[in-house]
Structure 1
């Protein structure tokens, strides 16, 4: 068997890893896999070295208390790779962990592919030089990323955005929980972010009419935390966990309140008008405001260079602003139509030249082998 070592650091990377494993096995049944993954990769028979939730951290204040644990997990992973000697290492997103891992095992001479290009176009462009020393190839999700990394001497394959394979576009509204006007709430998959965002989202919800029924999309990494916090909201709340249940909720909802990130693109694929909101703790906010280089955080807005999706970020992540943005989506058909037209234009730019994104990624991996 040819062993490929895959290291994913959070829920979104777990989904990418699962689809990549399936696409690779469809092409070459002799491949075997080891590394770090979550429940979606486990569905493919993947056995993770440790629980992926231990890596799902974001922001300075969340990472610092966990430094010793993260260091132990890094040492454990390096030792595992050294013992197994895979033919290829595939690191997926989570550059804070995965690119450090790539640096630690570079001396072994094993080729490294990094799946999901680090967002050097958004902040810290100087990272490109270090990345070039750590990886042999990048699989990029966005069409404008290839020239940035190729200029630093890193081969790049634009494989398309995996959101195009999401179940989100195939929901059935009649199967969704709740009645009346429904609002999808997607608070994230990291413990720190859901603890920060859920109180803000709860206050935003209080400012909306009582007939609006909230449906929360759960991530396995933080499900217990979300359920406990939502139980204190004082109003009926539905929960959806599986990809298909989330797709059904997307189909039934009028609007979405979504943390910045992949969930926003899922909403776009489903044609669900939404606002995005995100904030860090005060220390991380201070740092991010000085390092972030872009006009927009939403990929839809970024691809189109126009504010299709309302953004409430950092100091503007406030209930009064968020609720006002949601009210427009519930009350104004024109605002809904404008977003859906923008979604179509943005998503067209995320398609690979041939096939599905996971298939394009698998082909790139096999070429590297």
Structure 2
């Protein structure tokens, strides 16, 4: 069996590596060509070129590198057609992957599988119909996604979310973290202001004011902030103006130990104040109740607000079809309501705790690993065609 597999960013490389591992377990003679990073290379991939050449995000950056990206898209599509694989698997990064799949379909009948369904349930539903012209099968991370893809004419298999296999801190890790940072039995608030400069710059002042109100009402509350490496220096500058002094965890200084320290912080926290995003599932996996806040520029707020099809952006709320996680988005992203919500969740986390547990179960916790399920779905699709 020959597989051509493409990933363009670390999260996709993780998914791709697990899928390759699953395929190897079921088809010992499988071989791989494509583009990937460290995880996929460990599973036997020889990358056509370094993955980071296509790890480009944002309209401005894509336009700046458009010529080089277009050349890589054509080079990759030509390599797929020349390799004549049994299947082309593209992992996320739709700006690159779906263009490659389109060119491949124009020149061949190679089966195409896209791993990670686009969020057509949230906005731009027309993307599913466009994909269906050159994608045969979709592997979905969320249990409610298959009907959207199937309605557009593609096979779609829910294979589980990788968060269910992520390592978690133990009770002893949590206790050692509290001891190491002299927290004792004090309530602990986890602060997660985002991993992009724009997020930290916009949310930093709002979070700071909210924390000031929390300090007045709960002076015993302690704070910890695991920084994202790309914005660590900006975060350090931002918190200097805050009325509280959080424990800062810098991943640049600790390597693997830093990842363990972050997991321990998630487990030790009684409540989290976080920017909107996939971190919600990390918090749910750690059973850490949360309040979500997010804001963006005026133009983005107007455009996205008009395009949104759902009344929540939090995956715990969406997966469980509940609204137990408080969200303060756009105009609602204000210090007073955010601080009040943190206190409510801190005092009564039970409903959210149940919703987080249900979320993990619905995403596949306790079942077969997502990588193995993805491999089985790919093989089932090949047998059908």
| Aligned partner of residue 118 in structure 2, secondary structure | coil
- Matched-pair contact (CA < 8 Å) for 2:195–2:231: no
Q: Distance in 1 between matches of 2:374 and 2:297?
A: 35
CA change 1:139–1:170 in 2 (3 A) is: farther
Residue 200 of structure 2 is aligned to residue 184 of structure 1: no
Q: 1:212 maps to what in 2?
A: 222
Query: Given the alignment, which residue of 228, 236, 245 partners 1:231?
Result: 236
Partner of 1:112: 112
Q: Post-superposition shift, 1:287?
A: 0.8
Q: SS in structure 2 opposite 1:142?
A: coil
- Name the structure 1 match of 2:274: 258
Find the aligned partners of 1:263 and 1:82 in 2 and give their Cα distance.
Answer: 37
The answer as to whether partners of 1:183 and 1:214 remain within 8 angstroms in 2 is yes
1:292-350 CA-to-partner distances (Å, cap 9, x unmatched) read 010211121113332111112122233343333223334x1x2x122101212233322
Q: 1:134 to 1:214 in 2, by over 3 A?
A: same
Contact kept in structure 2, 1:170 and 1:270, CA below 8 Å: no
Q: Aligned-pair distance for 1:139?
A: 0.7
CA–CA distance in 1 between the matches of 2:366 and 2:268? 32
* Cα shift at 1:138: 0.4
Instruction: Sort the Cα spacing of 1:297 and 1:367 in 2 relative to 1 into closer, same or farther, 3 A.
Output: same
Q: Select between 173-182 and 115-124 the one with higher mean Cα deviation.
A: 173-182
Aligned residue in 2 for 1:68: 64
Q: Does the CA-based 8 Å contact 2:164-2:365 persist in structure 1?
A: no
User: 1:191, 1:46 → 2: CA distance?
Assistant: 33
Distance change >3 Å, CA 200–CA 77, structure 1 → 2: farther
Structure 1 alignment gaps of length 5 or more: none
Corresponding residue number in structure 1 for 2:136: 136
Larger radius of gyration: 2
For the structure 1 residues 65 and 274, does the alpha-carbon distance in structure 2 shift closer, same or farther, using more than 3 Å as the test? Answer: same
Which residue in the other structure is 2:377 paired with?
Answer: 364
Residue deviations 1:77-134, cap 9 Å, x none? 4303413544232222233333233223332323221111111111122222111102
Please tell me the root mean square deviation across aligned C-alpha atoms, in Å: 3.0
Q: Secondary structure at the match of 1:153?
A: coil
SS at match of 1:183: strand
Unaligned runs of 5+ in 2: none
Partner Cα distance (1:238, 1:254) in 2? 17
1:155 aligns with 2:161: no
What residue in structure 2 maps to residue 123 of structure 1? Answer: 123
Residues 262 and 287 of structure 1, relative CA distance in 2, 3 Å threshold: same
- Aligned residue for 2:311, secondary structure, equals coil
Partner of 2:175: 174
TM-score for both structures, normalised by structure 2: 0.80
Alignment CA distance shift 1:4-1:270 (3 Å): same
Q: Describe the shift of the 1:319–1:366 C-alpha distance in structure 2 as closer, same or farther (beyond 3 A).
A: same
Moved more, 130-139 or 64-73: 64-73
Q: Secondary structure at the match of 1:326?
A: helix
Out of 296-305 and 282-291, give the one that drifted further.
Answer: 296-305
SS in 1 for 2:292: strand
CA distance in 1, matches of 2:139, 2:27: 19
**Alpha carbons of structure 1 residues 120 and 195: separation in structure 2 relative to 1, 3 Å:** same
Q: CA deviation at 1:4?
A: 2.3
What count of residue pairs does the alignment treat as equivalent?
A: 356
